[in-house]
């Protein structure tokens, strides 16, 4: 939290963010344009009829019907901390203490 308060960028796999914006690959979006960031689960069946849940992190932007980013949870180190921090940031338009 101190790093964000100082305006430093944090990296979580393909995502990077600070207290002003979120970036994914070469695209950047300010927090006030983020509609939501959440974890979704995809259910898959194997050939042995064993159900496996695979999660993904989905970022949606206000006014857009398509996902802005969609990344497997396995590609986002410490995905729970990523979700906690990013949800605090976009919920407060970047103001974190």
Binned at pLDDT 50, 70 and 90, residue 5 comes out as confident
* Cα–Cα distance measured from residue 3 to residue 75, given in angstroms and rounded to the nearest whole number: 22
User: Which tokens sit at 95?
Assistant: 């103001």
63-97 confidence digits (pLDDT tens): 999 999 999 998 999 999 999 999 888 765 444 43
Question: First CA to last CA across the chain, in angstroms?
Answer: 7
Domain extent listing, the chain: 2-91
Least confident segment among 4-18, 22-36, 46-60, 70-84: 46-60
């Amino acid at each position: 939290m101190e790093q964000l308060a100082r305006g430093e960028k944090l990296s979580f796999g393909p995502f990077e963010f600070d207290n002003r914006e979120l970036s994914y690959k070469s695209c950047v979006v300010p927090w006030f344009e983020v509609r939501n960031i959440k974890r979704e689960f995809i259910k898959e069946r194997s050939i042995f009829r064993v159900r496996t849940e695979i999660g993904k992190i989905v970022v949606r932007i206000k006014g857009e019907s398509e996902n802005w980013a969609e990344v497997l949870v396995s590609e986002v180190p410490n995905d729970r901390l990523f979700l906690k921090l990013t949800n605090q940031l976009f919920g407060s338009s970047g103001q974190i203490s």
